[in-house]
Amino acid sequence: MIPSQQALMLNSALAFERLIKSPHGQIRGSSEEPNKGITWDRLEEVETYISQLQAASRQLMSENRKLRKVHFAIVEKIVRLLDVDLLRNQPRWRSELAEIRYMLAEVANQGGYPPDHMAPWKAHLDRQLYKVLECQYRSGLEALSERMPELRVDMVYQQSRLCFRPPFEEVVVLFTGALIIDPLFGIGPHPYASNQTSGTWTGQHLIGWELPSLGGRWLFNEVRRILPPLRANLSRDYEHFEMSPPSFSTSEEVAKDLDEHEIMWSQYENFSNELDQLAQEDWISFRSKCYLFDEFLTTWFNKLRSSEANPMTVRLQREIDRYWEVVPALKWVRGDVLSPDHWLELFRLIGLPRGTKLEQLTFGDLLRASRLIVEHAEALKSLTHRAQAEVVVREALQELDVWGAGATFTLTDYTDSAGHTVCLVKDWKDIVSQDQLARCQRALNEYLEDKRSIFPRFYFLGDDDLLEILGQSTNPVVIQTHLRKLFQGIHHVQFDGLNDLVTGKSSVATLTAMCSMDGEVVPLQRPIQLTNEVEVWLGRLATEMQSTLSDILAQCLGEGSAENKRRSRLDPNAYPGQVLTLSEAIHFARNAEEALNCGRLSSLKKDLQAQLTAYTSVDLNFLRTAGMEESAVDPIQSNQTRTHPSISRVLVAKLNALVLDTVHAIDIVDQLIQAGAATSRDWAWQRQLRFYMNATSRSDTTSGPRQSVPRVCMVDAQFNFTFEYQGNAPRLVHTPLTDKCYLTLTQALRMGLGGNPYGPAGTGKTESVKALGGLMGRQVGLSLALLFLFYSSYHKSVVKCLSFTHENILCIGQ
């Protein structure tokens, strides 16, 4: 085993060692005792163990032979390089080294050896190759004069002395020029790179471009080195002759000036070096990393802003601004979808010379053409879009070619009316049937889309549920099943004439009341007749729901005009919980602003605390008995106080909501007192969610009931309360974080934007959005991304937006 290859054999050797140390575990598994040996009386185990030993040994020897064979082959190639002249046969050296690298990579890939295991072997081969290179370098230097081009020098007798023709100095220049021409090309790579696109330069031009700058740098460093010792020696001489110390103000000014120029030009040098590193990247690999160029410009822009202004920073700033102009246009020269013909047109637009190949294109070539890229940005954009469209066509044609190359048809003979036999494709019938099915599906989708455009709440139902409703528009069971998906707070509804409809009598069922999940019953002021056009009577239900709640709110606010009287005759059964909480919020906003303007916040707090005490001391059993007696005496009032087996749960939900709102109102008053608010325009009051009733109420007819429109306000955002029935949904406890969430979302709604509450799971993001929608009386839809959507005025909704939402939800459901 070759010592440098021992690391490669480590895994096989360890496996062989494990087999020798624990033979029993290798045969029977880990369930037996690992230290129990193999005895000769167990012939099967002995034979199995011997076969495993032989297989492991063969594998170890086979792997060693393969590695040794590759090693000796590589060593033989390295030895052959001793006889290859490095100066005259450089291509031969490159090919041999490429073969060696390929053999090493093939061994690593086939054997799965990690890089750290390959490192000792590679280091050994590197040392052998270094020996050969050193030998070739020495022999090349010794024979360098023999390989130099022949220079003819004549010795002549002229002007009474011997001399050379051409002169000795010219011979030296010719000889050294032949030696240093390649290094000089290495000194100036940038002018030489520019030579490929801008013009023809010569080696003498490059030398003349570099040598002055190198000479100036050498002189600069020499002056910096000499000045401090001179100043120290001069000071010692003055001290030796007991003279006063000289003034080095001019020297210090020169040194300071040199330091400033060094810092200034080193800054430019660093900028150029970093830019050159990016410019040397080939465009094929760099076009997906254009962000590095943007980061480079941003970094240097921040550096220049933080440094002191000087001529160099101004120059660099101009260059950064020029490069920043081309950054947005770089996406049009990425060329991900460009064909070779498109690349030629792109090269023509940005002024690159003919013969430029994509494989040789660098980022520096594009930087040098930045001005043309900015000028022809629109043309490049059009070229990219045209190439993108052609890609689709090319891919389609390619797929068609692939399909045509492997397509097979099942044919059958058919005799036509003329007696000719023709071949028919038997699969054509299936294709026609599939096309008919697709047309039926499109017609069905158009029909469902028409229904959804009439009643947009149908977008919240899948196609199967919508077809079931449309097919059984007067079936109460089907209606009750899907109604809760269309109306957030309506759990089920009550019908009149349902028995006659079931028994077959010629009677029309009407929808008379809506019920929440907790059993709250809200009678509709105008019953809705069920017809076969389900989208029509469901639209009437949505309109009547809002109208009924609006009228009940007006009645509640009218009865509660006298505050003390309203408290003394508190009857939660008289109104829906949503109306009760909304009326309390409107009264609180009015009373709070009056208290702010009059300076009676402490009195308002006492009233609220008394109101809280009244709510928490209500006897639920007494209210339920009183409600039953009142409904027996007054049949008209009984429509609004109709008892239910779950009336206790409804009462508890209503009182819980009132108690929580009263506690929040007391907290708001405390905040106003602490902030020292004195008017209703103070921020402490404006940032609260406030409810008002419009001063001028509207009515559909001059003789009909007046419908008040409450307003929901927060800072300068105002929204109309839309009377979407919420039922008896649990109330969200108000916290400072909830208020901030409400404030952010309402301002986003005012500006026509969306809101995306962000935070860990379980922190109340979804509940905050739902609670805000409930407080505004709106249907709330929450997508998986927690983008909030308040759905109101469905008939005014944009159909395309709702259709897009429906299609996405349908995909998720499928």
DSSP 405: H
Q: 537 and 585: one domain?
A: no
Give the count of domains, the chain. 6
Q: Give yes or no for residue 555 having a pLDDT over 60.
A: yes
Q: 597 and 723: one domain?
A: yes
Q: Is residue 636 part of a domain?
A: no
Phi-psi label, residue 559: left if phi above 0, alpha if psi -120 to 50, beta otherwise:
alpha
| 35, amino acid identity | N
Q: Phi and psi (nearest 5°) for 54?
A: -65, -40
The domain containing residue 473 runs over which residues? Answer: 455-545
Distance CA 518, CA 735 (A): 26
Q: 726 and 793: one domain?
A: no
What is the per-residue pLDDT for 40?
65
Which residue, of 199, 227, 242, is where some domain finishes? 242
Q: Is residue 15 part of a domain?
A: yes
Q: Is residue 34 part of a domain?
A: no
Mean pLDDT of 513-529: 89
Q: Phi and psi (nearest 5°) for 264?
A: -65, -45
Q: 723 and 756: one domain?
A: yes
Q: Is the peptide bond before 166 cis (omega within 30 degrees of 0)?
A: yes
Q: 371 and 492: one domain?
A: no
Q: 470 and 397: one domain?
A: no
The percentage of residues in the chain with a pLDDT greater than 90, rounded to a whole number, is 7
DSSP 5: G
Q: Is residue 593 part of a domain?
A: yes
Residues whose CB falls within 8 Å of the CB of residue 664, separated by 6 or more in sequence, listed in order: 734
Q: 228 and 349: one domain?
A: no
Q: Which residue has the tokens 């002018």?
A: 191
Q: 605 and 754: one domain?
A: yes
Q: Is residue 523 part of a domain?
A: yes
328: how many CB neighbours lie within 10 A of its CB?
11
> Does residue 309 contact residue 301 with C-beta atoms inside 8 Å?
no
Q: Which residue has the tokens 């996405």?
A: 808
Mean pLDDT of 363-392: 88
pLDDT digits (tens, 9 = 90+) for 229-280: 887 888 888 888 878 877 777 777 877 787 787 788 888 888 888 888 888 8
pLDDT digits (tens, 9 = 90+) for 620-642: 665 555 444 444 333 333 333 34
Q: Is residue 56 part of a domain?
A: yes
Mean pLDDT of 431-458: 88
Q: Is residue 349 part of a domain?
A: yes
Q: Give yes or no for residue 182 having a pLDDT over 60.
A: no
> Does residue 20 contact residue 89 with C-beta atoms inside 8 Å?
no
Q: Angle CA(520)–CA(522)–CA(525) in degrees, nearest 5?
A: 175
Q: 72 and 103: one domain?
A: yes
> Does residue 514 contact residue 524 with C-beta atoms inside 8 Å?
yes
Is 730 strand, coil or helix? coil
Q: 70 and 117: one domain?
A: yes
Is 637 strand, coil or helix? helix
Distance CA 777, CA 720 (A): 9
Distance CA 2, CA 156 (A): 66
> Does residue 697 contact residue 710 with C-beta atoms inside 8 Å?
no
Q: Give yes or no for residue 370 having a pLDDT over 70.
A: yes
Q: 48 and 182: one domain?
A: yes
Q: Which two tokens stand for residue 161?
A: 């002395």
Q: Is residue 32 part of a domain?
A: no
Q: 686 and 737: one domain?
A: yes
